[in-house]
Structure 1
Amino acid sequence: MAGLGSGPSVPVWLAEDDLGCIICHGLLDWPATLPCGHSFCRDCLQGLWGARGAGRPWTCPTCREDGARPPRLRKNTLLQDLADKYRRAVRELDAGPEPAPSSVPAPQRRPAQPPTFSSGMDLASASPKLVTSNTSEGKIRDVLHHLETIREKLQENFTLKEAPEEQTQVKLLKAPSSSSCPLPDQSPTAPKRTSQFAQWAINPTFDLGSLACSLEVSEDCRRVTVSHYPQPYQWSRDRFSTSQVLCSQALSSGQQYWEVDTRYCSHWAVGVASWGMSRDFILGRTIDSSCVEWKGTGHLSAWHMVKETVLGSDRPEVVGIWLDLEEGKLAFYSVADQEKLLYECIVSASSPLHPAFWLYGLHPGNSLIIRQVKA
């Protein structure tokens, strides 16, 4: 029987999150796989367990499974090999391909640029990264050229967002586009939008006690951002283990409306949840939480009662949330010139609901902003 190395070369498409550790939000380093199947960096896992104190601190950070005694941590050599190949592929992409032999003219290439942009979006949100085995130099060059083309297109799309504010406004006036044009109420030359929900608008603020250690908030508690480094918050049972946060406001009656700017986050979910929502689950995957979610791959969906409903492939730049507890109704809108209904569902007012947010935790810089609704 032929060995594994003698077969045809098969490309394996991987994104950074496939090989990421949810504790440090980086690529796995000395990956240890727990009996439940979840994997983390060994040092991250031991550090987290050591900070939890008495009891059974060795529960899985993802599913909370534990045992009578701490598991023996062994290196997952397969994951380590994949992570190493991924790092090597990224380094080669940044450095560019090796020069071709002198007898064959090398293709002209522009200087390689870092794969992550300051806006928080990277190639993983637009196309997967390639890890290959036994691939010829020519094929590698073709793949790198293809990735570079994608990167250049992404950089062109994000140029306006990275430019200074004054220059951005001038560019937008000269060459507006559907993906980068500001909302009507943000442009000095555009007519002001009057929201049909303005009289019920509230200005919720993020609750620091529920904030995950991978997140940080602005001074006014209305912008939440994925941090480059885990925040040194004291452990609390109210703190989420994933990149999530609730707002302080407990909504138990009446009608409320708020808006969330999602343009600076590549993968997110916004909605409502009870304060008792499990801190180890993702928004929408519990019976006491509901949301709309953008998966960063042209996939917008709603989650309600642990059931997903696919809504389409258009990404809303601003999401409006309408909560009518008098009628037990929750609705999500895409906000532009006017509100466009995305999804509506029935909710219970048996316990107060809080505005809830989830940001994909492997991309530092991603942020969600609670906007002030203008009458």
Structure 2
Amino acid sequence: MSFAAIVVAAGSGSRAGGDKQWRLLGGRPVVRWSVEALLNAAAEEVVVVVAPDGLDRAAEALAGLEGWRAVVGGAERADSVRAGLEALSGAADRPVLVHDAARPFLSGEVIRRLLDALQGADGAIAALPVSDTLKRGDERIETTVDRAGLWRAQTPQAFCADRLRAAYGAWPEGSAATDDAAVVENDGGVVRLVEGDPRLIKLTYPEDFAMAEALIARQTRVGQGFDAHRWGPGASVWLCGVEIAHDQTLLGHSDADAGLHALTDAVLGAMGDGDIGDHFPPTDPKWKGAASDQFLIHAVERLTARGGRLVNVDVTLICERPKVKPHRQAMRERLSEILHLPLDAVSVKATTMEKMGFTGREEGLAASAIATIELPA
């Protein structure tokens, strides 16, 4: 069944700390979750209603998607829905789903149930039965409320576009509409209940974002990295972000911190995002003598932008000298700081090659690293 959709994203979101519709959730702006779900369910058009300063933010948040447009809403939710209705094109009796941007986990199954229930009715809403015992009172209980027949309304809510327009036309001026179903009910319309989705939570308070992140399906990936540098004249060496006094230094285009280089490659590799040379070409004079911690920070920022997170890292330094053990704790603490990981999620080890190979002959130092990450599935 063909349908259109209105996504209300004009609120200030003050209880959630402001601008909740533009905040990242699993690496995507909150509003994008809903718009993508509606477009994937074959919505013919999606009108996103935003505040006056939200047009550019919507363009940025929804870049790359087709089939949507943004309009400016009003001071109240009812005004924003009216603005969305006015912006709709197509047949006057076409079904329209009105959805709150603050409910990101919209499924195609809920959309299908709503459209099916709209046949022969003025509206349909997704809802869940109230399962908790309800109390009424202020500081003390005055009464226990019978929860039989009580439902928690969700969005989307589905209506024929012309029926919803007519209901809003009859809505008392200055009255607040808690949802669109109430507007149609007030106009004598029949609104059906369909099974909602417990995952279709509304992001209202800051702690709701932590719960929402926990609901996102994630995949675990592991990346590995390896790096080696020659020894040359010098008085110190950088390893895992820590400068160590030594009678030689490692030669390289940057500060030649093999531990950080290997770890950067491990993070990039886990994401399938190339290697350190792709992002920081050694032929670019910009990186001559550069501190390698910025390479690792860049890799983690790219991981965060995709909604991922680092779980743990493990670095092994391979050399005869310098002795790593006296500096290992400082290295772990520095990596913990760079990566924003707890100390027990950071491991630094060292080994020798028993005088074998280029590290055994003290021609150079090598490092290997493993990084475990989580990405939205």
Bucket of the pairwise TM-score, normalised by the shorter protein: under 0.3
Q: Going by fraction, where is helix more abundant, 1 or 2?
A: 2
User: TM-score, normalization: structure 2?
Assistant: 0.20
Higher relative contact order (CA 8 A, sep 6+): 1
User: TM-score, normalization: structure 1?
Assistant: 0.20
Q: Going by fraction, where is strand more abundant, 1 or 2?
A: 2
Larger Rg: 2
